[in-house]
Structure 1
């Protein structure tokens, strides 16, 4: 892990929790649990993914983008805008 990814450990931990949550919802679906319960859990997963995405964006801005600007990368803003467009649809 590079120094400019200071949130990476937290991101990996969040993704592991999300992975476990998805697995439990899959088990709920296989157990024929109530559809409303499944939708509530999916909403929680979506929120967790969005929050993880925000943290990745913060990591990217504070680390990768700052580093690219320091190195004179002229395309850094194009890359950032592309990433944002793909993340927010």
Structure 2
């Protein structure tokens, strides 16, 4: 179900940890360029495993939709499945957002880190487009 282009859970964790350790700006894609900077602060993401599991399921679901299109399945069926994928992505975003608020934003407020709060506002603006 997975292709070589997707990180496994261990690689995702290592990539995420590296991002937090380096405190370097990076872009996820052209739309997010310059909008996401990690700062070094100690915290744990309590829902990382749940998010990774959801993302794995989403990848599988999206691949199934791709196969539906390749097989010439009915457009209505494809649209319904894409709506389900979008709903699952939104639910995953809510988990990440809650985790971020509970940990990163609480830490930012406690330490007076207004930049992290501004980054959250930019991320929400992009997410809501």
Q: TM-score, normalised by structure 1?
A: 0.91
Q: Is the 8 A contact 1:22 1:45 kept in 2?
A: yes
1:63 to 103, 108, 116: 103
Q: Report how many aligned residue pairs link the two structures.
A: 89
Q: Aligned residue for 1:81?
A: 121
- Mapped contact 2:47–2:99 kept (Cα < 8 A): yes
SS in 2 for 1:66: helix
CA distance, structure 2, for counterparts of residue 85 and residue 3 of structure 1: 24
What are the superposed Cα offsets for residues 38-80 of structure 1, whole Å, 9 maximum, x if unpaired? 0000000000001101111011100111112222212232112
Shift of 1:3: 4.5
**Deviation >4 Å, runs of 4+:** none
Aligned partner (choices 55, 80, 94) of residue 15 of structure 1: 55
Tell me the alpha carbon deviations over residues 10-45 of structure 1, each in whole angstroms, 9 at most, x when there is no partner: 011000000000001111111111111000000000
Higher helix share: 1
Q: Which has the higher contact order (CA 8 A, sep 6+)?
A: 1
Secondary structure of 2:114's counterpart equals: coil
Asked whether the equivalents of residues 108 and 117 of structure 2 are also in contact (C-alpha less than 8 Å), the reply is: no
Tell me the TM-score normalized by structure 2: 0.64
Unaligned runs of at least 5 residues, structure 1? none
